[in-house]
Structure 1
Protein backbone atom coordinates (compact mmCIF):
# COMPACT_ATOMS: atom_id res chain seq x y z
CA UNK A 1 0.00 0.00 0.00
CA UNK A 2 1.45 3.36 -1.06
CA UNK A 3 0.20 6.40 0.82
CA UNK A 4 0.37 10.15 0.37
CA UNK A 5 0.97 12.10 3.57
CA UNK A 6 -2.49 13.53 4.14
CA UNK A 7 -4.34 14.01 7.41
CA UNK A 8 -7.34 12.34 5.83
CA UNK A 9 -5.98 8.91 6.74
CA UNK A 10 -6.59 9.68 10.40
CA UNK A 11 -10.33 9.87 9.94
CA UNK A 12 -12.53 6.84 10.42
CA UNK A 13 -15.99 8.25 9.74
CA UNK A 14 -16.62 6.83 6.27
CA UNK A 15 -20.37 6.38 5.72
CA UNK A 16 -20.49 5.65 1.97
CA UNK A 17 -18.15 3.38 -0.02
CA UNK A 18 -18.42 3.72 -3.81
CA UNK A 19 -16.82 0.92 -5.82
CA UNK A 20 -16.12 0.47 -9.52
CA UNK A 21 -16.73 -3.04 -10.90
CA UNK A 22 -14.34 -4.17 -13.65
CA UNK A 23 -10.73 -4.07 -12.49
CA UNK A 24 -11.80 -3.10 -8.98
CA UNK A 25 -14.52 -5.18 -7.30
CA UNK A 26 -14.00 -7.98 -9.84
CA UNK A 27 -10.73 -9.84 -10.23
CA UNK A 28 -9.17 -10.69 -13.58
CA UNK A 29 -11.54 -13.65 -13.97
CA UNK A 30 -14.60 -11.37 -13.64
CA UNK A 31 -15.40 -12.79 -10.21
CA UNK A 32 -15.67 -11.07 -6.84
CA UNK A 33 -13.00 -12.34 -4.43
CA UNK A 34 -14.57 -13.89 -1.36
CA UNK A 35 -12.62 -11.53 0.89
CA UNK A 36 -14.23 -8.52 -0.83
CA UNK A 37 -17.67 -9.97 -0.14
CA UNK A 38 -16.91 -10.72 3.51
CA UNK A 39 -15.44 -7.28 4.23
CA UNK A 40 -18.22 -5.36 2.46
CA UNK A 41 -20.83 -7.38 4.35
CA UNK A 42 -19.09 -6.37 7.57
CA UNK A 43 -19.10 -2.72 6.46
CA UNK A 44 -22.85 -2.98 5.85
CA UNK A 45 -23.30 -4.54 9.29
CA UNK A 46 -21.54 -1.49 10.74
CA UNK A 47 -24.06 0.82 9.08
CA UNK A 48 -21.98 1.89 6.09
CA UNK A 49 -23.75 2.26 2.73
CA UNK A 50 -22.19 0.41 -0.22
CA UNK A 51 -22.68 1.77 -3.74
CA UNK A 52 -21.73 0.27 -7.09
CA UNK A 53 -20.39 3.02 -9.38
CA UNK A 54 -20.22 1.65 -12.90
CA UNK A 55 -20.20 2.67 -16.53
CA UNK A 56 -22.70 -0.10 -17.18
CA UNK A 57 -26.47 0.12 -17.21
CA UNK A 58 -28.58 0.41 -14.05
CA UNK A 59 -29.96 -3.12 -13.83
CA UNK A 60 -26.51 -4.63 -14.39
CA UNK A 61 -25.01 -2.43 -11.68
CA UNK A 62 -27.83 -3.49 -9.36
CA UNK A 63 -27.13 -7.13 -10.23
CA UNK A 64 -23.45 -6.78 -9.33
CA UNK A 65 -24.44 -5.26 -6.01
CA UNK A 66 -26.86 -8.08 -5.23
CA UNK A 67 -24.00 -10.54 -5.75
CA UNK A 68 -22.54 -9.17 -2.50
CA UNK A 69 -25.55 -10.44 -0.55
CA UNK A 70 -26.32 -7.04 0.99
CA UNK A 71 -28.45 -4.02 0.01
CA UNK A 72 -26.47 -1.68 -2.25
CA UNK A 73 -27.02 1.57 -4.14
CA UNK A 74 -26.33 1.91 -7.88
CA UNK A 75 -24.66 4.74 -9.78
CA UNK A 76 -24.99 3.68 -13.42
CA UNK A 77 -23.85 4.80 -16.88
CA UNK A 78 -20.91 6.80 -15.47
CA UNK A 79 -23.27 8.78 -13.24
CA UNK A 80 -25.88 9.57 -15.89
CA UNK A 81 -28.51 7.45 -14.11
CA UNK A 82 -28.92 7.13 -10.36
CA UNK A 83 -31.90 5.47 -8.73
CA UNK A 84 -32.45 4.92 -5.01
CA UNK A 85 -35.26 2.52 -4.22
CA UNK A 86 -38.02 3.77 -6.57
CA UNK A 87 -36.79 7.36 -6.78
CA UNK A 88 -34.78 8.41 -9.83
CA UNK A 89 -32.18 10.91 -8.60
CA UNK A 90 -30.48 11.56 -11.94
CA UNK A 91 -31.41 10.81 -15.55
CA UNK A 92 -29.03 12.83 -17.73
CA UNK A 93 -29.75 11.98 -21.38
CA UNK A 94 -27.92 13.31 -24.44
CA UNK A 95 -29.87 15.75 -26.62
CA UNK A 96 -30.85 14.90 -30.20
CA UNK A 97 -28.18 17.04 -31.83
CA UNK A 98 -25.45 15.33 -29.83
CA UNK A 99 -26.84 11.85 -30.49
CA UNK A 100 -26.79 12.58 -34.23
CA UNK A 101 -23.22 13.91 -34.06
CA UNK A 102 -22.09 10.86 -32.10
CA UNK A 103 -23.72 8.32 -34.42
CA UNK A 104 -22.20 9.87 -37.50
CA UNK A 105 -18.74 10.16 -35.95
CA UNK A 106 -18.78 6.51 -34.91
CA UNK A 107 -20.05 5.31 -38.27
CA UNK A 108 -17.30 7.30 -40.01
CA UNK A 109 -14.72 5.56 -37.82
CA UNK A 110 -15.86 2.10 -38.90
CA UNK A 111 -15.85 0.89 -35.30
CA UNK A 112 -18.46 -1.24 -33.51
CA UNK A 113 -20.62 0.52 -30.91
CA UNK A 114 -23.89 0.43 -29.07
CA UNK A 115 -25.99 3.08 -27.35
CA UNK A 116 -27.53 2.78 -23.90
CA UNK A 117 -30.69 4.18 -22.40
CA UNK A 118 -31.28 3.49 -18.73
CA UNK A 119 -32.81 0.10 -19.56
CA UNK A 120 -32.40 -0.18 -23.36
CA UNK A 121 -29.42 -1.14 -25.51
CA UNK A 122 -29.51 -0.19 -29.19
CA UNK A 123 -27.07 -1.08 -31.95
CA UNK A 124 -26.86 -1.50 -35.68
CA UNK A 125 -27.00 -5.12 -36.79
CA UNK A 126 -26.72 -8.28 -34.71
CA UNK A 127 -25.96 -7.71 -31.02
CA UNK A 128 -24.15 -10.95 -30.33
CA UNK A 129 -22.97 -10.85 -26.74
CA UNK A 130 -21.31 -7.46 -26.91
CA UNK A 131 -19.59 -6.67 -23.61
CA UNK A 132 -21.31 -9.62 -21.90
CA UNK A 133 -24.71 -7.90 -21.81
CA UNK A 134 -26.73 -10.81 -23.20
CA UNK A 135 -25.38 -13.34 -20.70
CA UNK A 136 -25.83 -10.83 -17.85
CA UNK A 137 -29.40 -10.16 -18.99
CA UNK A 138 -30.25 -13.82 -18.56
CA UNK A 139 -29.48 -13.46 -14.85
CA UNK A 140 -31.89 -10.57 -14.32
CA UNK A 141 -35.41 -11.26 -13.00
CA UNK A 142 -38.42 -10.71 -15.22
CA UNK A 143 -39.43 -7.08 -15.13
CA UNK A 144 -35.81 -5.93 -14.82
CA UNK A 145 -34.39 -7.31 -18.06
CA UNK A 146 -32.80 -4.83 -20.45
CA UNK A 147 -34.49 -4.37 -23.83
CA UNK A 148 -32.18 -5.05 -26.80
CA UNK A 149 -32.91 -3.33 -30.11
CA UNK A 150 -31.05 -4.21 -33.30
CA UNK A 151 -31.69 -1.83 -36.20
CA UNK A 152 -30.43 -1.04 -39.67
CA UNK A 153 -31.23 2.67 -39.28
CA UNK A 154 -29.37 3.47 -36.09
CA UNK A 155 -29.71 7.25 -36.16
CA UNK A 156 -33.47 7.19 -36.72
CA UNK A 157 -34.06 4.54 -34.07
CA UNK A 158 -32.04 6.44 -31.48
CA UNK A 159 -33.88 9.70 -32.13
CA UNK A 160 -37.29 8.02 -31.98
CA UNK A 161 -36.43 6.10 -28.82
CA UNK A 162 -34.78 9.02 -26.99
CA UNK A 163 -33.30 8.93 -23.51
CA UNK A 164 -29.82 7.95 -24.67
CA UNK A 165 -27.32 8.16 -21.82
CA UNK A 166 -24.11 7.17 -23.59
CA UNK A 167 -22.44 5.38 -26.46
CA UNK A 168 -19.73 2.78 -25.94
CA UNK A 169 -17.33 2.07 -28.79
CA UNK A 170 -15.09 -1.01 -29.00
CA UNK A 171 -11.65 -1.04 -30.62
CA UNK A 172 -11.71 -4.67 -31.83
CA UNK A 173 -7.93 -4.34 -31.76
CA UNK A 174 -7.80 -1.10 -33.76
CA UNK A 175 -6.55 1.25 -31.06
CA UNK A 176 -5.43 3.84 -33.61
CA UNK A 177 -9.00 4.20 -34.89
CA UNK A 178 -10.26 4.49 -31.32
CA UNK A 179 -7.71 7.20 -30.54
CA UNK A 180 -8.68 9.06 -33.71
CA UNK A 181 -12.36 8.93 -32.74
CA UNK A 182 -11.53 10.24 -29.26
CA UNK A 183 -9.90 13.30 -30.82
CA UNK A 184 -13.15 14.09 -32.68
CA UNK A 185 -14.80 14.75 -29.30
CA UNK A 186 -11.83 16.47 -27.68
CA UNK A 187 -13.21 20.00 -28.00
CA UNK A 188 -16.92 19.22 -28.17
CA UNK A 189 -18.84 21.76 -26.03
CA UNK A 190 -21.33 19.28 -24.54
CA UNK A 191 -19.83 15.79 -24.87
CA UNK A 192 -16.86 14.04 -23.29
CA UNK A 193 -15.14 10.68 -23.55
CA UNK A 194 -13.74 8.28 -20.99
CA UNK A 195 -12.58 4.67 -21.00
CA UNK A 196 -13.11 1.75 -18.66
CA UNK A 197 -10.37 -0.19 -20.49
CA UNK A 198 -7.87 0.37 -23.30
CA UNK A 199 -10.28 -1.38 -25.67
CA UNK A 200 -13.28 0.94 -25.38
CA UNK A 201 -14.38 4.55 -25.53
CA UNK A 202 -17.47 5.85 -23.76
CA UNK A 203 -19.17 9.01 -25.04
CA UNK A 204 -21.60 10.91 -22.81
CA UNK A 205 -22.56 14.36 -21.55
CA UNK A 206 -19.75 16.61 -20.35
CA UNK A 207 -21.64 17.52 -17.16
CA UNK A 208 -22.00 13.85 -16.18
CA UNK A 209 -19.53 11.60 -14.36
CA UNK A 210 -19.35 9.18 -11.46
CA UNK A 211 -18.69 12.08 -9.07
CA UNK A 212 -21.92 13.86 -10.01
CA UNK A 213 -23.79 10.59 -9.53
CA UNK A 214 -22.21 10.06 -6.12
CA UNK A 215 -22.99 13.65 -5.15
CA UNK A 216 -26.70 13.15 -5.95
CA UNK A 217 -26.83 9.93 -3.94
CA UNK A 218 -24.91 11.40 -1.00
CA UNK A 219 -27.25 14.40 -0.88
CA UNK A 220 -30.25 12.07 -0.71
CA UNK A 221 -28.60 10.07 2.09
CA UNK A 222 -27.39 13.14 3.99
CA UNK A 223 -23.74 12.14 3.72
CA UNK A 224 -20.92 14.69 3.41
CA UNK A 225 -18.22 14.20 0.76
CA UNK A 226 -15.62 13.89 3.54
CA UNK A 227 -17.44 10.71 4.62
CA UNK A 228 -17.16 9.08 1.18
CA UNK A 229 -14.60 6.53 0.04
CA UNK A 230 -14.29 5.86 -3.72
CA UNK A 231 -12.27 2.98 -5.17
CA UNK A 232 -11.42 2.59 -8.87
CA UNK A 233 -8.83 1.79 -11.50
CA UNK A 234 -9.59 3.46 -14.85
CA UNK A 235 -10.08 6.83 -16.53
CA UNK A 236 -13.82 6.94 -15.92
CA UNK A 237 -13.13 6.58 -12.17
CA UNK A 238 -10.99 9.73 -11.98
CA UNK A 239 -13.83 12.17 -11.13
CA UNK A 240 -15.02 10.13 -8.16
CA UNK A 241 -11.48 9.49 -6.94
CA UNK A 242 -10.89 13.25 -6.91
CA UNK A 243 -14.31 14.06 -5.43
CA UNK A 244 -14.40 11.64 -2.51
CA UNK A 245 -13.02 12.47 0.90
CA UNK A 246 -10.90 9.36 0.49
CA UNK A 247 -9.99 8.30 -3.06
CA UNK A 248 -8.34 4.90 -3.43
CA UNK A 249 -6.59 3.62 -6.56
CA UNK A 250 -6.29 -0.09 -7.19
CA UNK A 251 -2.80 -1.53 -7.50
CA UNK A 252 -3.65 -2.29 -11.13
CA UNK A 253 -4.98 1.24 -11.80
CA UNK A 254 -3.72 3.54 -14.53
CA UNK A 255 -0.96 5.98 -13.64
CA UNK A 256 -3.42 8.89 -13.80
CA UNK A 257 -5.73 7.28 -11.24
CA UNK A 258 -2.82 6.44 -8.94
CA UNK A 259 -1.60 10.03 -9.14
CA UNK A 260 -5.05 11.42 -8.28
CA UNK A 261 -5.72 9.05 -5.37
CA UNK A 262 -4.96 9.56 -1.70
CA UNK A 263 -3.69 5.98 -1.49
CA UNK A 264 -3.02 2.91 -3.61
CA UNK A 265 -4.31 -0.45 -2.43
CA UNK A 266 -3.53 -3.97 -3.64
CA UNK A 267 -4.59 -5.18 -7.10
CA UNK A 268 -8.01 -6.56 -8.01
CA UNK A 269 -6.50 -10.07 -8.02
CA UNK A 270 -5.36 -9.50 -4.42
CA UNK A 271 -8.76 -8.32 -3.08
CA UNK A 272 -7.58 -4.72 -3.01
CA UNK A 273 -11.09 -3.48 -2.14
CA UNK A 274 -11.12 -5.55 1.05
CA UNK A 275 -7.62 -4.40 1.98
CA UNK A 276 -8.50 -0.72 1.60
CA UNK A 277 -11.73 -1.00 3.60
CA UNK A 278 -10.03 -2.89 6.42
CA UNK A 279 -7.14 -0.41 6.57
CA UNK A 280 -8.97 2.91 6.24
CA UNK A 281 -12.52 2.21 7.40
CA UNK A 282 -12.01 -0.50 10.00
CA UNK A 283 -8.60 1.00 10.95
CA UNK A 284 -6.93 -2.40 11.08
CA UNK A 285 -3.15 -2.46 11.32
CA UNK A 286 -1.13 -4.40 8.76
Structure 2
Protein backbone atom coordinates (compact mmCIF):
# COMPACT_ATOMS: atom_id res chain seq x y z
CA UNK A 1 0.00 0.00 0.00
CA UNK A 2 1.36 3.40 -0.96
CA UNK A 3 1.78 5.89 1.88
CA UNK A 4 0.38 9.39 1.40
CA UNK A 5 2.84 11.92 2.82
CA UNK A 6 1.23 15.08 4.19
CA UNK A 7 4.24 17.03 5.48
CA UNK A 8 7.74 17.71 4.12
CA UNK A 9 10.42 18.96 6.52
CA UNK A 10 13.56 20.47 5.01
CA UNK A 11 16.90 21.15 6.63
CA UNK A 12 18.54 24.32 5.29
CA UNK A 13 22.36 24.28 5.29
CA UNK A 14 23.80 21.46 3.23
CA UNK A 15 20.29 20.49 2.14
CA UNK A 16 18.16 23.27 0.65
CA UNK A 17 21.11 25.56 0.01
CA UNK A 18 23.92 24.81 -2.39
CA UNK A 19 27.56 25.23 -1.38
CA UNK A 20 27.33 28.88 -2.41
CA UNK A 21 24.54 29.32 0.18
CA UNK A 22 21.91 29.99 -2.48
CA UNK A 23 18.66 28.34 -3.49
CA UNK A 24 18.58 26.94 -7.01
CA UNK A 25 15.71 27.53 -9.41
CA UNK A 26 15.11 23.75 -9.53
CA UNK A 27 14.73 23.61 -5.75
CA UNK A 28 12.21 26.47 -5.74
CA UNK A 29 10.22 24.79 -8.50
CA UNK A 30 10.22 21.48 -6.63
CA UNK A 31 8.86 23.15 -3.48
CA UNK A 32 6.10 24.79 -5.54
CA UNK A 33 5.32 21.37 -7.07
CA UNK A 34 4.91 19.67 -3.71
CA UNK A 35 2.87 22.58 -2.30
CA UNK A 36 0.43 22.20 -5.19
CA UNK A 37 -0.02 18.60 -4.06
CA UNK A 38 -1.43 19.99 -0.79
CA UNK A 39 1.63 18.94 1.24
CA UNK A 40 2.54 21.09 4.25
CA UNK A 41 6.14 22.25 3.76
CA UNK A 42 8.24 23.46 6.68
CA UNK A 43 11.88 24.14 7.49
CA UNK A 44 13.61 22.22 10.27
CA UNK A 45 16.85 24.06 10.92
CA UNK A 46 19.41 25.00 13.51
CA UNK A 47 19.30 28.56 12.23
CA UNK A 48 17.75 31.36 14.23
CA UNK A 49 14.14 32.23 13.42
CA UNK A 50 14.79 35.44 11.39
CA UNK A 51 17.34 33.63 9.22
CA UNK A 52 14.98 30.70 8.61
CA UNK A 53 12.12 33.12 7.90
CA UNK A 54 14.19 34.75 5.17
CA UNK A 55 14.65 31.37 3.43
CA UNK A 56 10.94 30.59 3.91
CA UNK A 57 9.98 33.88 2.29
CA UNK A 58 12.14 33.08 -0.72
CA UNK A 59 10.35 29.72 -1.00
CA UNK A 60 6.94 31.40 -0.49
CA UNK A 61 6.26 29.39 2.66
CA UNK A 62 3.80 30.80 5.18
CA UNK A 63 3.97 27.83 7.52
CA UNK A 64 5.24 27.29 11.05
CA UNK A 65 9.02 26.87 11.02
CA UNK A 66 11.12 24.66 13.30
CA UNK A 67 14.13 26.80 14.18
CA UNK A 68 16.99 26.98 16.70
CA UNK A 69 17.24 23.19 16.37
CA UNK A 70 13.66 22.79 17.61
CA UNK A 71 13.77 25.31 20.46
CA UNK A 72 11.65 27.95 18.70
CA UNK A 73 8.70 26.99 16.49
CA UNK A 74 6.19 29.26 14.80
CA UNK A 75 5.32 31.43 11.83
CA UNK A 76 5.74 34.66 13.80
CA UNK A 77 8.54 35.86 16.05
CA UNK A 78 5.95 37.34 18.44
CA UNK A 79 3.64 34.33 18.76
CA UNK A 80 5.59 31.05 18.64
CA UNK A 81 3.62 27.85 19.07
CA UNK A 82 6.53 26.45 21.10
CA UNK A 83 9.68 27.82 22.73
CA UNK A 84 12.15 26.22 25.11
CA UNK A 85 14.95 28.38 26.48
CA UNK A 86 18.19 27.94 28.37
CA UNK A 87 17.62 29.96 31.54
CA UNK A 88 20.03 32.90 32.14
CA UNK A 89 21.98 31.11 34.87
CA UNK A 90 22.53 28.03 32.70
CA UNK A 91 23.44 30.17 29.68
CA UNK A 92 26.05 31.99 31.78
CA UNK A 93 27.55 28.72 33.01
CA UNK A 94 27.73 27.28 29.46
CA UNK A 95 29.49 30.40 28.18
CA UNK A 96 31.89 30.34 31.12
CA UNK A 97 32.96 26.80 30.17
CA UNK A 98 33.22 27.57 26.44
CA UNK A 99 35.42 30.60 27.13
CA UNK A 100 38.12 28.28 28.46
CA UNK A 101 38.65 27.02 24.91
CA UNK A 102 39.58 28.69 21.61
CA UNK A 103 36.20 28.96 19.98
CA UNK A 104 33.85 31.46 18.43
CA UNK A 105 30.76 31.52 20.69
CA UNK A 106 27.33 32.81 19.79
CA UNK A 107 24.22 33.22 21.88
CA UNK A 108 21.30 32.87 19.49
CA UNK A 109 18.26 34.74 20.74
CA UNK A 110 15.35 34.88 18.29
CA UNK A 111 15.76 38.65 17.92
CA UNK A 112 19.53 39.13 18.04
CA UNK A 113 22.87 37.39 18.41
CA UNK A 114 25.74 38.08 20.82
CA UNK A 115 29.20 36.75 19.99
CA UNK A 116 32.69 36.90 21.41
CA UNK A 117 35.51 38.70 19.64
CA UNK A 118 38.28 36.45 18.40
CA UNK A 119 41.69 38.07 18.42
CA UNK A 120 43.58 35.55 16.31
CA UNK A 121 42.57 35.10 12.69
CA UNK A 122 39.16 36.48 13.58
CA UNK A 123 38.22 37.21 10.01
CA UNK A 124 38.61 33.56 8.98
CA UNK A 125 36.60 32.22 11.91
CA UNK A 126 33.93 34.89 11.60
CA UNK A 127 33.51 34.08 7.93
CA UNK A 128 33.11 30.39 8.71
CA UNK A 129 30.54 30.86 11.46
CA UNK A 130 28.56 33.99 10.80
CA UNK A 131 29.16 34.71 7.16
CA UNK A 132 26.69 34.17 4.39
CA UNK A 133 24.20 32.30 6.52
CA UNK A 134 22.92 35.20 8.59
CA UNK A 135 20.77 37.97 7.14
CA UNK A 136 22.10 41.46 7.72
CA UNK A 137 18.88 42.51 9.42
CA UNK A 138 19.52 40.07 12.27
CA UNK A 139 21.35 42.26 14.81
CA UNK A 140 24.76 40.87 15.81
CA UNK A 141 26.89 42.29 18.61
CA UNK A 142 30.44 41.25 19.45
CA UNK A 143 31.89 41.70 22.93
CA UNK A 144 35.29 41.06 24.51
CA UNK A 145 33.88 38.79 27.22
CA UNK A 146 30.52 37.11 26.85
CA UNK A 147 30.42 35.98 30.48
CA UNK A 148 31.01 39.55 31.68
CA UNK A 149 28.31 40.77 29.30
CA UNK A 150 25.83 38.21 30.68
CA UNK A 151 26.40 39.36 34.26
CA UNK A 152 24.93 42.76 33.38
CA UNK A 153 22.61 41.53 30.61
CA UNK A 154 21.12 38.11 31.47
CA UNK A 155 19.71 36.29 28.44
CA UNK A 156 17.29 33.37 28.22
CA UNK A 157 18.23 32.11 24.76
CA UNK A 158 16.85 29.16 22.80
CA UNK A 159 20.34 28.13 21.72
CA UNK A 160 24.07 28.66 22.21
CA UNK A 161 26.57 27.55 19.60
CA UNK A 162 30.33 27.53 19.21
CA UNK A 163 32.77 26.81 16.42
CA UNK A 164 36.16 25.18 16.98
CA UNK A 165 39.15 24.80 14.71
CA UNK A 166 40.65 22.15 17.00
CA UNK A 167 38.54 18.97 17.23
CA UNK A 168 40.18 17.83 20.49
CA UNK A 169 39.19 21.13 22.13
CA UNK A 170 35.63 20.71 20.85
CA UNK A 171 35.42 17.23 22.35
CA UNK A 172 36.87 18.47 25.65
CA UNK A 173 34.28 21.26 25.75
CA UNK A 174 31.46 18.78 25.14
CA UNK A 175 32.72 16.57 27.98
CA UNK A 176 33.02 19.53 30.36
CA UNK A 177 29.49 20.74 29.62
CA UNK A 178 28.03 17.27 30.08
CA UNK A 179 29.86 16.88 33.40
CA UNK A 180 28.93 20.26 34.83
CA UNK A 181 25.54 21.20 33.38
CA UNK A 182 22.46 18.98 33.66
CA UNK A 183 19.52 18.88 31.27
CA UNK A 184 21.10 20.16 28.08
CA UNK A 185 21.39 18.59 24.65
CA UNK A 186 24.55 19.00 22.58
CA UNK A 187 24.60 18.36 18.87
CA UNK A 188 26.30 19.60 15.71
CA UNK A 189 25.22 20.93 12.30
CA UNK A 190 28.60 21.33 10.58
CA UNK A 191 32.22 20.33 10.95
CA UNK A 192 33.76 21.93 14.05
CA UNK A 193 30.44 23.09 15.47
CA UNK A 194 28.82 22.52 18.83
CA UNK A 195 25.20 23.49 19.51
CA UNK A 196 23.54 23.53 22.91
CA UNK A 197 19.79 23.56 23.61
CA UNK A 198 17.64 22.45 26.54
CA UNK A 199 17.20 18.71 27.08
CA UNK A 200 14.31 17.32 25.06
CA UNK A 201 14.72 19.87 22.27
CA UNK A 202 15.30 18.49 18.78
CA UNK A 203 14.05 18.79 15.25
CA UNK A 204 12.24 15.48 15.71
CA UNK A 205 10.44 16.78 18.81
CA UNK A 206 9.61 19.90 16.80
CA UNK A 207 7.96 17.76 14.14
CA UNK A 208 5.92 15.98 16.82
CA UNK A 209 4.71 19.34 18.17
CA UNK A 210 3.87 20.66 14.71
CA UNK A 211 2.23 17.37 13.74
CA UNK A 212 0.01 17.48 16.83
CA UNK A 213 -1.16 20.97 15.85
CA UNK A 214 -1.89 19.92 12.25
CA UNK A 215 -3.21 16.42 12.92
CA UNK A 216 -0.35 14.80 11.00
CA UNK A 217 1.43 11.72 12.33
CA UNK A 218 5.19 11.25 12.06
CA UNK A 219 4.69 8.33 9.67
CA UNK A 220 2.93 10.74 7.28
CA UNK A 221 6.02 12.97 7.12
CA UNK A 222 9.11 13.13 4.93
CA UNK A 223 12.23 14.74 6.42
CA UNK A 224 15.48 15.43 4.63
CA UNK A 225 18.76 16.46 6.23
CA UNK A 226 22.51 16.43 5.95
CA UNK A 227 24.15 16.37 9.36
CA UNK A 228 24.27 15.04 12.92
CA UNK A 229 21.40 17.15 14.22
CA UNK A 230 19.15 15.66 11.52
CA UNK A 231 19.63 12.04 12.59
CA UNK A 232 16.72 11.89 15.02
CA UNK A 233 14.11 13.31 12.65
CA UNK A 234 15.39 11.16 9.77
CA UNK A 235 14.87 8.00 11.84
CA UNK A 236 11.47 8.94 13.31
CA UNK A 237 9.46 10.07 10.27
CA UNK A 238 7.73 7.94 7.67
CA UNK A 239 10.45 8.58 5.10
CA UNK A 240 13.82 9.81 6.30
CA UNK A 241 16.08 11.09 3.52
CA UNK A 242 19.79 11.91 3.71
CA UNK A 243 21.56 14.21 1.27
CA UNK A 244 24.28 12.76 -0.91
CA UNK A 245 26.74 15.11 0.80
CA UNK A 246 25.80 13.87 4.28
CA UNK A 247 28.34 11.92 6.37
CA UNK A 248 28.17 8.12 6.14
CA UNK A 249 26.65 7.70 9.61
CA UNK A 250 23.71 9.93 8.60
CA UNK A 251 23.24 8.10 5.29
CA UNK A 252 23.28 4.74 7.09
CA UNK A 253 20.27 5.80 9.18
CA UNK A 254 18.20 7.09 6.27
CA UNK A 255 15.50 5.20 4.36
CA UNK A 256 16.74 6.80 1.17
CA UNK A 257 19.77 8.80 0.01
CA UNK A 258 19.30 11.50 -2.63
CA UNK A 259 21.83 13.48 -4.64
CA UNK A 260 24.07 16.17 -3.11
CA UNK A 261 22.98 19.76 -2.46
CA UNK A 262 25.01 20.86 -5.50
CA UNK A 263 23.31 18.19 -7.66
CA UNK A 264 19.73 19.33 -6.90
CA UNK A 265 19.26 16.65 -4.23
CA UNK A 266 16.05 18.15 -2.81
CA UNK A 267 14.46 18.64 -6.23
CA UNK A 268 15.37 15.08 -7.24
CA UNK A 269 13.90 13.62 -4.04
CA UNK A 270 10.68 15.65 -4.30
CA UNK A 271 10.03 14.55 -7.88
CA UNK A 272 10.78 10.89 -7.11
CA UNK A 273 8.74 10.69 -3.89
CA UNK A 274 5.76 12.93 -4.68
CA UNK A 275 5.41 12.54 -8.46
CA UNK A 276 2.56 9.98 -8.34
CA UNK A 277 0.99 11.19 -5.12
CA UNK A 278 -2.49 12.67 -5.48
CA UNK A 279 -3.32 16.02 -3.90
CA UNK A 280 -3.99 15.79 -0.16
CA UNK A 281 -6.29 18.01 1.89
CA UNK A 282 -5.04 19.23 5.27
Interval of TM-score (by shorter of Structure 1 and Structure 2):
0.7 to 0.9
Q: Secondary structure at the match of 1:149?
A: strand
Alignment of 1:85-124 (within 5 A): 85=76, 87-124=79-116
Aligned match of 1:274:
267
C-alpha distance in structure 2 between counterparts of 1:24 and 1:261, whole Å? 14
Supply the RMSD in Å over aligned alpha carbons. Answer: 2.3
Contact 1:158/1:164 (8 A) holds in 2: no
Alignment of 1:185-224 (within 5 A): 185-186=177-178, 188-224=181-217
Contact 2:222/2:237 (8 A) holds in 1: yes
C-alpha distance in structure 2 between counterparts of 1:14 and 1:64, whole Å? 23
Q: Secondary structure at the match of 1:39?
A: helix
Give the paired residue count: 268
Q: Secondary structure at the match of 2:59?
A: coil
Alignment of 1:236-275 (within 5 A): 236-275=229-268
Contact 2:66/2:73 (8 A) holds in 1: yes
C-alpha distance in structure 2 between counterparts of 1:99 and 1:76, whole Å? 18
2:69 matched to 1:78? yes
C-alpha distance in structure 1 between counterparts of 2:50 and 2:240, whole Å? 25
Alignment of 1:38-187 (within 5 A): 38-85=29-76, 87-125=79-117, 131-132=129-130, 136-138=134-136, 145-158=137-150, 160-171=153-164, 173-186=165-178
Q: TM-score, normalised by structure 1?
A: 0.85
C-alpha distance in structure 2 between counterparts of 1:220 and 1:133, whole Å? 34
Q: Secondary structure at the match of 1:137?
A: coil
C-alpha distance in structure 2 between counterparts of 1:60 and 1:133, whole Å? 12
C-alpha distance in structure 1 between counterparts of 2:156 and 2:138, whole Å? 14
Deviation at 1:255, TM superposition (A): 1.8
- The runs of 5 or more residues in structure 2 that have no matched partner are 278-282
Q: TM-score, normalised by structure 2?
A: 0.86
C-alpha distance in structure 2 between counterparts of 1:57 and 1:11, whole Å? 36
- Kindly tell me: are residues 156 and 202 of structure 1, through their superposed partners in 2, closer, same or farther at Cα, counting changes over 3 Å? same
Deviation at 1:33, TM superposition (A): 2.2
Please, which of 17, 27, 34 is the counterpart of residue 18 of structure 2? 27
Contact 1:185/1:192 (8 A) holds in 2: no
- Kindly tell me: are residues 135 and 168 of structure 1, through their superposed partners in 2, closer, same or farther at Cα, counting changes over 3 Å? closer
C-alpha distance in structure 1 between counterparts of 2:228 and 2:188, whole Å? 6
